[in-house]
Amino acid sequence: MVVLGIETSCDDSAVGVWCDGGILANVVHTQKIHAKWGGVIPELASRDHILTIIPSIREALNEAEIELDALDAVAVCGGPGLLGSLLVGLCTAKSIAWALDIPFIAVHHLEGHLFAAQIGDYIRPPFLALIVSGGHSHIYSVPEQGKYKLLGRTRDDAAGEAFDKGAKAMGLSYPGGPAVEKAANNGNPTAFDFPRAMQKPGELDMSFSGLKTALLLTLDKIPKENLPAKIPDLSASYQEAIVDALIWKLAEAAKAVSITDIVVVGGVASNKRFREKLTGRAESENWNVRFPPPELCTDNGVMIAAAGAFRLKRGERSGWNTTAVSRWPLGNI
């Protein structure tokens, strides 16, 4: 089965081609226009998707060395995400499927991320899933493929959002995750004692707003002329607090449900410090942890195609009246 995957939930126009466990193409157009604003402007994002989605599809087909009529199905991210951006991808997917008389299916964005860690090699349930990105910090148990039970989530900012806001506060570039990680490479992670919130045993929900406030209060105490020299230590300490909080929650979840197979996905999963510390903890706890390759941690069309193929092979299809949804609990698919 050859599936075209389209992902436009935020500010990446991403197109992938997937064929029975293999990646034929992976094209991602990242919008640069948002950098000067320090965050995504929804209207600008949707307008840029309109300009780039068709060229991205053409590029993906060329990379896969196939023609449009070689497709067996089209999968598209149907939500959650920015409504205007989602609609660009959804309308494009419907048009292609209608013209070729092939099925299309709307895929949940978070389920797509989970399949990014399973390209060509499904994980045997049950397993734990930690999804950490700019918009989500969720822990799920997965009793069987395609079934998800929410165990814990952030009560305020997501981990990726905390990186973005922290970077902006320190005057670093957007997106904040890579900027903080780069600055942290030359810093001391114990230089500043930032809080790790909500660490009551058995508590699986997360919070990162207090960490952001602690950073702002710390910045207020540093003279402006001394700030540039402090940025590496601030970044390393701030990153360490986020990483420690995520690993602590994952350990509590593993203990609560007695599951040792763990999947970690989303943009934050590409953070090297996070991967290193979690891998070390996994060795001591006898966990089996799987990450996607870094290029599949951020939004991409391959993950949508892979998740769509899974659903399509189970006989699922989306109707022509399917619309995009900005909010869509993963447990409801």
Q: Measure the CA–CA gap between 281 and 262, rounded to whole angstroms.
A: 12
2-114+296-314 and 124-291, same CATH topology: yes
Q: Measure the CA–CA gap between 209 and 78, rounded to whole angstroms.
A: 29
Ordered by start, the domain boundaries in the chain are: 2-114+296-314, 124-291
Choice between 284 and 119, residue whose per-residue pLDDT is larger = 284
Mean pLDDT computed over every residue of the chain: 96
Q: Which amino acid is at 25?
A: A
Contact assessment for residue 262 and residue 289, using Cβ atoms and an 8 Å cutoff: yes
Specify the length of the chain in residues.
Answer: 333
Contact assessment for residue 60 and residue 6, using Cβ atoms and an 8 Å cutoff: no
Mean predicted confidence (pLDDT) in 182-192: 98
pLDDT digits (tens, 9 = 90+) for 110-131: 999 999 999 877 888 999 999 9
Tell the CATH superfamily of the 2-114+296-314 domain: ATPase, nucleotide binding domain (3.30.420.40)
Class of domain 124-291: alpha beta
Contact assessment for residue 4 and residue 290, using Cβ atoms and an 8 Å cutoff: no
At 333, is the pLDDT very low, low, confident or very high (cuts 50, 70, 90)? Answer: low
